[in-house]
Amino acid sequence: MPDEQAYRAGFVSLVGRPNAGKSTLTNALVGSKVAITSSKPQTTRHAIRGIRTTEESQLVLVDTPGLHRPRSLLGQRLNDLVRETLLSVDVIGFCLPSDQRVGPGDTFIARDLADLHRARRVPVVAIATKSDAVTRDRLAEHLVAIDGLGEWDAIIPCSATRGDQVEEVAELLSSYLPESPQLYPADQITDESTLVQIAELVREAALEGVRDELPHSLAVQVEEIVPRPDRPEDSPLSDVRVNVFVERPSQKAIIIGRGGSRLRDVGTEARRGIEELMGHRVHLDLHVKVAKDWQRDPKALDRLGF
C-alpha cells in the first residue's frame, strides 16, 4: 500500500450492478446529498462527482450507472458511460450488496474489472455494502463469496445508511490515490451544474412509490430558471420550470395521479431539495409529457442529454 504521509488526491469510481448502494455510499462519503437514491434499480443516469476533502486527502467520487446487460439504446449508452469513466480513474470501488447473493451480474462486472486491472493496473477495492441488512454469519459468507469472485486489492464491509465503517472505506480508497495537491476547492462537494442537480431531485421524487417499470422510462429536463422581478434582496423567489418525460400515456397517468394528487406530492418533495440547493424560495412548475420510446430513439436521447 502506498505511503500515506503525503497529500493524496484523485478520482474514485464506484461500480456495481443496479441498486448495489453506490449512490447511498457516495452521499455518506461526501457527507451531503450529491447523488439521488431510490429503492428502484437503474436510478443513476450521469457520472455524478461527489468530493470529499480532508486534511490528508481529496476523494473525487464518480458515481456511475449500474453495469447491466442492456435492453435498449439507453442501456447501452449507460454501460458505455461506465466503461469510459473507468478508463480515467485512480481506484475503483466494486460495490456488492450484502443482502443479495453474488450472482451473474456481479460475475459480469468482475470480468470487466479483471480485464481493466490487467490493462491499466487500476486498484480495485471490493466493498460489501448494506452490511446492516444481514446477520454476522451471512456477512461472513458474503465476504467469502466476494473473495472467490476475483483478485481484489482489498475487501471491506460497510453500511452507508447506518454509517458503519464509512470512514474506514474512505481511508482505504484514499490510500490508493496518487500524491497530488487538491483538485477542487476544499468547500466544493460536487461539480454538477445546478440544472442537473435540480433535474435529479425531481426525478428522485417522481420515482418514489411507482411501479417497477417506470424508472427506466422517466427522464427530467429543466426548461428554465427565472428569478421573479421586483423581489426584495433578502427574499428572492425563482420560477423553475421542469419537464418530466415518460414513454406512454399510461405512465403519464401514474406520475400525475388521481386529480393530480401524485404530481403535487412530487412537486412538494422536490421543491424542498431545490430550495435547499438554491438557498431561497422557488415556485416549481412541473409538466409531464409523453416522448414515445425515447430510450430507443437516438435523437430523443441526444435531446435529453444521454
16 is in an annotated binding site: yes
130 is in an annotated binding site: yes
Asked if residue 12 lies in contact with residue 90, where contact means CB atoms within 8 angstroms, the answer is: yes
21 is in an annotated binding site: yes
23 is in an annotated binding site: yes
22 is in an annotated binding site: yes
**What are the angstrom distances between the C-alpha of 233 and each of 224, 227, 284?**
21, 11, 20
20 is in an annotated binding site: yes
Residue 231 C-alpha cell reads as: 423581489
Residue 6 C-alpha cell reads as: 503525503
**What are the angstrom distances between the C-alpha of 272 and each of 86, 182, 192, 199?**
34, 32, 19, 13
132 is in an annotated binding site: yes
261 is in an annotated binding site: no
67 is in an annotated binding site: yes
19 is in an annotated binding site: yes
65 is in an annotated binding site: yes
53 is in an annotated binding site: no
Residues with Cβ < 8 Å from 119, sequence gap 6 or more? none
131 is in an annotated binding site: yes
Partners of 13 in the beta sheet? 62, 92
Positions at the binding site: 16-23, 63-67, 129-132
Positions at the binding site for GTP: 16-23, 63-67, 129-132
